[in-house]
Amino acid sequence: MSNNILVTGATGNVGFEVVRLLSERRSSVKAAVRSHSTSRVRLPSGVESVEFDFEQPQTFELAFRGINTLFLVRPPAISQVKKYIYPALTTAQAAGVDRVVFLSLLGAERMAIVPHAKIEAYIKSLGLAYTFLRASFFMQNLSTTHCQDVRDNNEIFVPAGKGKTSFIDVRDIAAVAVKVMTEPGHENRAYSLTGSEALDYYEVAEIFTNILGRKIFYTHPFVFNFALKMYRRGFNAGFIAVMLGIYTTARLGLAAKVTDDVRNLLQRSPISMSEFVRDYRASWMSQSQHQV
Ligand SMILES: NC(=O)c1ccc[n+]([C@@H]2O[C@H](COP(=O)([O-])OP(=O)(O)OC[C@H]3O[C@@H](n4cnc5c(N)ncnc54)[C@H](OP(=O)(O)O)[C@@H]3O)[C@@H](O)[C@H]2O)c1
């Protein structure tokens, strides 16, 4: 039977990697993008894309046509999952999708209040075959949301205190996603995806210092100072609240859980923080540092 896969969030951290890996394997993949004309990200050549917007239900039917497997990413800005995500799932099922691989959140099974838990419950209630990828905190948050602080001020500016986090590289999440979507045996399972160790931000700053060759400080700001800086930088209140929730969780020592799921599924060690910083080194170099 054919396995036609639709990847949502295809221009984002995880979805882009999933599309790239599937296209390398020559799997049948379609990338769901909000708009062909305004998409800032270039998809790998030869990958077919289709317009899809959770806030535009008229885009659903065409996007799901001929699809069996859905890789579902909840866009961080969508918190009203009942209004925007449930209808997409219902339409997907009616169009013939019988399998959903959902990018969820580490610990979602214990946090009924988070949108990810509600989406998991809805997928189950539809009777679709599912695989939940409950991921820990992405290493790539340091090369995207927090990049500027490291690049311009040599600091990691997050209010996480001395708490440890079991950071994961999104490339490992994508590799797991591709594996579970392309081989049998992962139906109706949930995996908790973490790196192989939990680090505090002092340890992360030391890794950055050693690899970038300049001193990077962890300045552990107060929550208020962090929120103010993020607000002035243009992040919206909802996103800042989510970040505060995440860093409070870390500060309280609740983000340190390490599992073997990535190692067991990929038969190799998860990507380490040092490997991540080496691979993304250019992100934290200013123009002048690039010229040296
Ligand atoms: N960051 C973490 O540490 C972490 C950890 C565990 C779980 N998660 C979960 O992972 C998910 C985010 O994954 P990510 O970081 O790979 O995503 P991301 O990089 O934030 O990208 C979001 C994607 O969603 C698309 N999108 C935005 N609004 C949309 C809409 N209305 N309809 C359709 N697509 C839309 C974006 O497209 P455009 O390019 O058009 O904007 C983009 O492709 C969230 O649910 C988050 O809670 C994150």
Instruction: Answer whether 9 contacts ligand 1 (Cβ < 6 A).
Output: yes
Do 145 and 115 lie in one domain? The reply is no
- Sign for the CA dihedral angle at 206, 211, 217, 220 comes to negative
CA 78–ligand 1 middle distance (angstroms): 9
CB of 29 shorter than 6 A to ligand 1: no
For residues 168 and 245, give the distance between their C-alpha atoms in angstroms, rounded to a whole number. Answer: 18
Tell me, yes or no, whether 248 and 203 share the same domain.
yes
Do residues 154 and 274 share a domain?
Answer: yes
* Ligand 1 pocket member 138 (CB < 6 A): yes
**The CATH number of the domain where 99 resides is what?**
3.40.50.720
Helix residue ranges per DSSP H, the chain: 13-24, 60-64, 81-95, 115-126, 147-153, 170-182, 201-212, 223-232, 237-251, 261-266, 273-279, 287-291
Ligand 1 pocket test: pick from 13, 21, 73 the residue with the most ligand atoms within 8 Å of its Cβ: 73
**pLDDT above 80 for 58:** yes
Both 131 and 142 in one domain: the answer is no
Identify whether the C-beta of residue 175 lies closer than 8 Å to the C-beta of residue 264. no
- Are residues 115 and 142 located together in one domain of the fold? no
Across the range 217-234, mean pLDDT stands at 95
Predicted local distance difference test score (pLDDT) of residue 113 = 87
CATH of the domain at 213: 3.90.25.10
Rounded to whole angstroms, the Cα distance separating 66 from 17 reads 22
Percent of the chain with pLDDT strictly greater than 70:
98
Residue 84: which domain range? 5-135
Q: How many domains does the chain have?
A: 2
Residue 75 beta carbon below 6 angstroms from any ligand 1 atom: yes
Q: Report residue 65 as tokens.
A: 């046509």
Same domain, 126 and 216: no
Tell me which of 85, 116, 135 is where a domain ends. 135
Which atom number of ligand 1 is nearest to the Cα of residue 14? 16
> What is d(CA 80, CA 208) in angstroms, rounded to the nearest whole number?
37
Nearest to 131, CA basis, from 86, 175, 186, 75: 186
Asked if residue 176 belongs to a domain, the reply is no
- Residue 42 scores a pLDDT above 90: no
Residues 218 and 288 in one domain: yes
Taking the C-alpha atoms of residue 123 and residue 129, their distance in angstroms, rounded to an integer, is 8
Split at pLDDT 50, 70, 90, the class of 291 is: low
Distance 14 CA to ligand 1 centre (A): 8
Same domain, 80 and 205: no
How far does residue 27's CA lie from ligand 1's centre (Å)?
A: 23
